[in-house]
Structure 1
Amino acid sequence: MTPDFRTDITLPADARILQLVHDYGYNLAVLADFPQHQAELLAQALWEACENSIQHAYDDEPGIITVVGELTPNALILAVHDQGLPFDETLEPKLHPIDTDACRHLSQHTLGLSLIHRCVDEVHWINHGPQGKELRLTKYRSECCRLQPQTAAPHGPPHEPPVAQSPQDYTIRFVDPEDALRVAQLMYRVYGYTYPRVNIYYPDRLAHNIKCGIHVGVVAVTADGEIVGHVGLIRPELGSLAELEQLAIAPSHRGQGLFKRMDKLLQGEIQRMELVGLYAEAVTVHTISQEGSENKGLHAAGIELLHLGVHFKKLEIIQHNLGYRDTKPGPVFQGETALVFYFDYLSPPKTTRLYAPDRHRQILTDIYRNLGVPVEFLKPEPAAGNGRLSVQYRKNYGVGLIQVDRIGSDTFPKIEQACRDLCDLAESVAVFLDLPLSQGGTPDLCEAAETIGFFFSGVRPGFASDGDFLRLQYLNATLDPDRIHLISPFARKLLDYILRDKTRVEQNR
């Protein structure tokens, strides 16, 4: 596999350089071992991104663009930088000479941005303020670990009971990059493809994250080298927060005390890292992962009504694999499911001071009380100057995220445009909006966002650079509340509030 490297070219913002940009992207994709047809699609996506910058950044004045190519063990990243007009997410839908069979099914109206989204795995718009803006495209190099589910005999039960293991010795140790494939296989056999963090199913990505310290895990290994247990956490950007992964123990190795032994080693590592908080996301098509989060001392702090779009294994098989009994056969589930966001402070603040809309203050008080933190609400202040936000489309989940890092007088129009693009062009089923609760302009910006359909979702403590995020949500698909199954009384209370707020926003539009 080609080692890591980074290269960039700086070019005039002139349409005559587009063929050079295309060839640059194509050759990088070939170097990353993508097949020829995928390399062509990636080159076309880079062409589209650069042409957008050329057409919209400089108002026909001279300018430059910088194209960056970065190759890592798990991804090819292509980025286009310019220092022209502040943040314009709109990509013009144009047809260009380069064509492949994979591009022909796209309509003329949606070809521009839609082509980019369909050709790469992640699209990030990043506003660097006075340093300009960036459109970053990511294409992963590895394929998902696709294990075939075990099928039942024609006249037998949908699963076989686990064979009880006699007591044996297990090695409890930290996970190594070489363990990635076996961990992915274990997670599939226990959870199917229901686990929200899909990188766990990509061995190359998982190995890279283990090597970098982003993934910290503990495994239980038998004498013959089989990995039969795993518990771990993810540290995005190696920050002060970490996401707890769900426990996975092979059904035939339960009852051996593996969780306590693995968790003891992991807890020692958590203390060493001096983390501020732990969080987890649990699906709601079943309550198994919610129970795991509750048992670890985490508390519900938000619900995203439409997030994960995936095809699940039969639920009775998953429940059986996790040790549940007396389960009834059920249909294979396909579609979007809600996620519950769980959080726990390891070093709770004495008081959290928030700028929040009046109507949401009571539910915010309840959420923070549940987290063991008192709240003080501050008087709103008008926003001024230029804002800063980033926009992401998460292809694996089919959702968009708009993150506001600094609120300015120009922020709401950018949110409105980004939401429109994510829904109309990227076809996101939902868009999430994060507003910084430590900034005085959040109450007014929340009110403005509600006029275009955003409603309450919850809070994300510690996720903002200056504190906590208020998360709102916008649905671009039909919601079926009967698919949402919750285990805790507080989560049900939170869901009731969210559904009422959704109705209020819809009635006021």
Structure 2
Amino acid sequence: MRVLFQLDLPNADGSVAIAQAACLRAADQLRLAPEKRMRLELAVEEVVVNAVRHAYPSGVSGSLRVTASVEGAVLTVRVQDWGLPYDPSEITPFSVEDPQLRGLGLHLAWRCCDEAVLRNLGRDGKVFDLRFRLPPSPVPVPEPAVEAAAVPAARGAGRVEADVRLFTPADAPGVARCAWLAYGYSKPDDHLYDPVELARLNRDGLMVGIVAVGGDGEVVGHACLDLSGNPLVPEFTDLVIVPAARGNPVLLGRILQLGYDTAVARGCLGVLVNAVTAHTVSQRGALRFGGVPIQVHLASVSPEWDLTAGSGKEAGASAGGKAAVRQSEIALYCRNRTGEPRLLHCPERHRAMLRSIFAAFDEPVTIADAVPPEPASLPPASDLLVESGLLAWGHVLIDVQAYGQDLIPSVAAFLRRFCQDGVATVLLQLPLGDPATPAMADRLERLGFSFAGIFPQAVRKAGAPEKDAGPADPDHDRATDIILFQYLNNVSIDPGSERIVSACQPLYDYVVAERRRVDREFYALSGVE
């Protein structure tokens, strides 16, 4: 273990900035990516502030020790105090229903780290260990020894022979190795690198894994149906293929086919595919199965994710292989069966685009021509669900389940706090079945949100969500159509660096134009075309 620094500080407010400055200096020495550097700064701030304010009784002087060390490929920042003992279970859990947002600071700190641990050391006080992986570059994978007849000379590495089948628990270590060979530790999905967690998610029905296994028994590709949020329309995600097996459309097509067939067998309405704009492979794969572009998440992909590892440089990649700017994602909906006929209410400005999207997959919806007036009366409180599970990617989701008189100030308050905490993008979901949505959407756009797309048949849990509630139950949960908006917090988009196939271009151009319109009208940004 190599110690980078050790600071002994008083429990005073000024210690926070000193600890942050030292940690950022260490981050620069270690060449942390800008987004991980920002997450380190936020985590250190929240934990040191917590120690300064709560470790010792009011009026009692005490000391803190902040230490940074590197062991292997892990940076650990330890914040130690010798104040009042307490059990980790006594920490106030964060709840979006708490108007004071107690516990949000430590909740965000935990989310910013790759791993966080609180330990009591008896007479040595207690420590918070904040751990951050230092992603190595993926190692080159030797080309497998296969018969010349099995490998066309023009596309050598991409023609690895593989058996595509459903995941078994014995595949978990191989999937983790596959993810590392594909992207190092740069992909912000911790479960992909954790064999125990991969096995648990599949066992508990939260995902259905699909693996491609080479002739030597090694996993060379992986994808899954994520059932944790919406079993009616699961996301096809976690696609990783080792560099030696890339460039093989047949292998990719077989993985996609098994995923789609599995969704059909489960009775799903469809499958959602989030395709990155750093390349066109996943976009074309979803289109091959009848995918319709329904959303564009601008600047949604962390620049820390090495999207081009092992496959050569493409547009949008920096010299180090990682994206020079935050890349976007295009969500495509591959429909299996239609939903029930329904009436939807959308903002007048976006009505033509929504009609075009729904018509593309022939969904039986009617979009009201008239915009209903703003409701004369609403209940005092809105029903909001805030999901921060994607903080590693830099986003937070605010799901408006029911409108109340406090909607605009409540969303503005959350937005202010998330921006202060360095969240890159905030997504906002509104129910298209509610006649109040057109009026509310116009007001929310004045906060800086811009149109991002729709989500047909999104699942809403019946009643208040519970912690670790597990997958949604189609027999008890309700489905509704969603219109999606997004807020960009000091992050920029570079359409020139993104690669869009022609079928996705109209929606992409519309979403970019709406982002620029909001920037011009509500931020008075000059020079925005």
TM-score normalised by structure 2 residue count:
0.64
Match of 1:270 among 256, 260, 263: 263
1:31-66 CA distance string (max 9 Å, x none)? xxxx9958999979976x63xxxxxxxxxxxxxxxx
Inter-partner Cα distance in structure 1 for 2:411 and 2:404: 12
Inter-partner Cα distance in structure 2 for 1:395 and 1:358: 32
Displacement after TM superposition at 1:224 (Å): 4.3
Q: Give the structure 1 partner of residue 171 of structure 2.
A: 179
Q: Give the structure 2 partner of residue 130 of structure 1.
A: none
The answer to whether the aligner puts 1:501 opposite 2:514 as a matched pair is yes
The answer to whether the aligner puts 1:332 opposite 2:321 as a matched pair is yes
Inter-partner Cα distance in structure 1 for 2:104 and 2:179: 34
Displacement after TM superposition at 1:361 (Å): 0.3
Displacement after TM superposition at 1:448 (Å): 0.9
Alignment of 1:107-146 (within 5 A): 113-120=104-111
CA shift in 2, pair 1:120/1:44, >3 Å = farther
Inter-partner Cα distance in structure 2 for 1:276 and 1:45: 42
**Residues 263 and 271, structure 2, Cα contact 8 Å, conserved in 1:** no
Q: Give the structure 2 partner of residue 150 of structure 1.
A: 139
Alignment of 1:398-413 (within 5 A): 398-413=394-409
Displacement after TM superposition at 1:271 (Å): 2.7
The answer to whether the aligner puts 1:207 opposite 2:220 as a matched pair is no
Inter-partner Cα distance in structure 2 for 1:177 and 1:368: 39
Displacement after TM superposition at 1:226 (Å): 1.9
Q: Greater CA deviation, 443-452 or 238-247?
A: 238-247
1:155-190 CA distance string (max 9 Å, x none)? xxxx87665456599655421223122112223434
The answer to whether the aligner puts 1:457 opposite 2:452 as a matched pair is yes
Match of 1:346 among 325, 336, 359: 336
Secondary structure of 2:301's partner? strand
Q: Give the structure 2 partner of residue 366 of structure 1.
A: 356
Gaps in structure 2 of 5+ consecutive residues = 1-53, 56-75, 114-127, 151-159, 461-478, 523-529
**Residues 300 and 343, structure 1, Cα contact 8 Å, conserved in 2:** yes
Q: Which amino acid aligns with 1:88?
A: P
Q: Give the structure 2 partner of residue 219 of structure 1.
A: 211
Match of 1:492 among 505, 512, 518: 505
Q: Which amino acid aligns with 1:347?
A: R
Q: Which amino acid aligns with 1:333?
A: K
Displacement after TM superposition at 1:329 (Å): 9.5
**Residues 270 and 335, structure 2, Cα contact 8 Å, conserved in 1:** yes
Inter-partner Cα distance in structure 2 for 1:327 and 1:395: 23
The answer to whether the aligner puts 1:431 opposite 2:426 as a matched pair is yes
Identity of aligned residues (%): 24
**Residues 296 and 452, structure 2, Cα contact 8 Å, conserved in 1:** yes
Q: How many residues align?
A: 398
Displacement after TM superposition at 1:360 (Å): 0.6
Alignment of 1:98-109 (within 5 A): none
Displacement after TM superposition at 1:301 (Å): 0.7
1:11-30 CA distance string (max 9 Å, x none)? xxxxxxx99xxxxxxxxxxx
Q: Which amino acid aligns with 1:454?
A: F
**Residues 225 and 236, structure 2, Cα contact 8 Å, conserved in 1:** yes
Q: Which amino acid aligns with 1:437?
A: L
Gaps in structure 1 of 5+ consecutive residues = 1-17, 20-34, 51-78, 92-111, 123-138, 152-158
Displacement after TM superposition at 1:214 (Å): 1.6
Match of 2:485 among 472, 490, 508: 472
The answer to whether the aligner puts 1:244 opposite 2:257 as a matched pair is no
Alignment of 1:12-51 (within 5 A): 50=92
Secondary structure of 2:483's partner? strand
Displacement after TM superposition at 1:204 (Å): 3.0
Secondary structure of 2:416's partner? helix
1:234-255 CA distance string (max 9 Å, x none)? 1124722211136555555687
Q: Greater CA deviation, 437-446 or 199-208?
A: 199-208
Secondary structure of 1:241's partner? coil
CA shift in 2, pair 1:182/1:348, >3 Å = same
1:367-406 CA distance string (max 9 Å, x none)? 2122232542234352621320012333211222111111
Displacement after TM superposition at 1:266 (Å): 4.4
Displacement after TM superposition at 1:198 (Å): 5.1
Inter-partner Cα distance in structure 1 for 2:316 and 2:108: 40
Q: Which amino acid aligns with 1:458?
A: G
The answer to whether the aligner puts 1:389 opposite 2:384 as a matched pair is yes
